Structure 1
Amino acid sequence: MTSATGRPLLFLDVDGPLIPFGSPSGHPQTAAAVSSPSPGQGNPLLERLDPELGSRLLALGCRLVWATTWMEEANEVVSPRIGLPRLPVVEWPAPYTDEGPRDLHWKTRLLVEWADGRPFIWVDDEISAMDRLWVDAGHPGPSLLHRVDPTKGLVEADFSALTDWIRAVTPG
């Protein structure tokens, strides 16, 4: 991975992979289950961000890209908390639409277009079998659609799977 163009893209979602919805009791919580913050206090879910995630993601050697409904806010709020620089952001059309085959995530087609044939990883908690089929049929380069358990977020086993795939598809 000597050039920026040769590095795989890593499309990164925030809610679920970086901000886990699990609770200390072991029962999952959703964003709606957490009380609204008082004005000026920010999003209480941000406390769940692991400050070590940024360095671990950078160490993968991929070109990191935000693929989240947080869009530019991910650069403003999430990146500084986990030690990431400003990242490119996939801009989603509004409203988010579910056009296409049943069970195809609304992000899938746009990520394939954004990748434009380059190797990519998509880390999200909402990836389905239909997304994998769509990417396999429509993306000429290597891809890994990696589903993260939203109750735990990115954990060691996820990083191992990402690292193994990167080693398998990158020369040297």
Structure 2
Amino acid sequence: MTERPLLLLDVDGPLNPFRSLFAGLRGYTSHRMRPDVWLSYRDPESRKARRGVRVRLHPSHGAQLQALPFELAWATAWTHQANTLISPHIGLPADLPVVEWPELFAEDPDGLSWKTRPLLDWAAGRPFAWVDDMITPQDRAWVLAHHPAPSLLLRIHPRHGLRDRDFAALSAWAGEVSAAGR
């Protein structure tokens, strides 16, 4: 049996439409969280650090993601805290694999996203889709030139988060990859 393609998930942007003014009207719920990566840029005694960051999550996204023909994994600066802080609010398992970054927010010598090269290493030649708000045409071109398997880099606008059309695009792409692998 062929392995399912990977779906590499970012939190901020795709799952947390942090730039949205109307997320609550679209079914998102607000949560206050204190992820380590966010706290590392705050004075621990500040009011912001005590309150935490507002994270908007859609409770149906977990079921929608699990219904896709992918193996899910976190590809986020939230690292393992995505399993403990995000998963319970959207209905994902608390033990999804997590991409281990060599360095968060490292500058790339070629101007790629700080995630691009580590994601290719982590995917280890497997087909993958990556949803993130920071994907650029340069990242797409580099992945196309350096990854031997099919890939889909789906940029999600941080004002919208994952939408029905994104789930449809992911499902269609996974279907094409599965059909080609038979």
TM over 0.5: yes
Q: Counterpart in 1 of 2:68?
A: 60
SS at match of 2:73: strand
Two-structure CA RMSD over aligned residues (Å): 2.1
- Identity across aligned pairs (percent)? 50
2:106 pairs with 1:97: yes
Between Structure 1 and Structure 2, the one with more strand by share is 2
TM-score by length of 1: 0.84
Whole-angstrom distance in 1 between the partners of 2:83 and 2:119: 19
Whether the 8 Å contact between 1:37 and 1:44 is mirrored in structure 2 is: no
Alignment of 1:16-165 (within 5 A): 16-21=13-18, 22-24=20-22, 36=48, 38=50, 42-45=52-55, 48-85=56-93, 86-102=95-111, 104-165=112-173
TM-score by length of 2: 0.80
Whole-angstrom distance in 2 between the partners of 1:84 and 1:95: 24
Tell me how far 1:99 sits from its aligned partner: 2.2
Whole-angstrom distance in 1 between the partners of 2:101 and 2:126: 20
Which AA in structure 2 matches 1:19? N
Whole-angstrom distance in 1 between the partners of 2:67 and 2:87: 15
Q: Counterpart in 1 of 2:33?
A: none
Q: Counterpart in 1 of 2:44?
A: none
Query: Which of 10, 14, 31 pairs up with 1:13?
Result: 10
Whole-angstrom distance in 2 between the partners of 1:118 and 1:131: 17
Cα deviation 1:101-130 (Å, max 9, x = unaligned)? 12x101000101111110000000110011
Unaligned segments of structure 1, at least 5 residues:
26-30
Cα deviation 1:61-119 (Å, max 9, x = unaligned)? 211110000001000010011010120001112353112312x1010001011111100
Q: Counterpart in 2 of 1:28?
A: none
SS at match of 1:118: coil
Tell me how far 1:149 sits from its aligned partner: 1.1
Whole-angstrom distance in 2 between the partners of 1:96 and 1:19: 19
Whether the 8 Å contact between 1:17 and 1:150 is mirrored in structure 2 is: yes
Unaligned segments of structure 2, at least 5 residues:
24-37, 42-46
Whole-angstrom distance in 1 between the partners of 2:103 and 2:148: 28
Whole-angstrom distance in 1 between the partners of 2:21 and 2:49: 18
Whole-angstrom distance in 2 between the partners of 1:69 and 1:95: 7
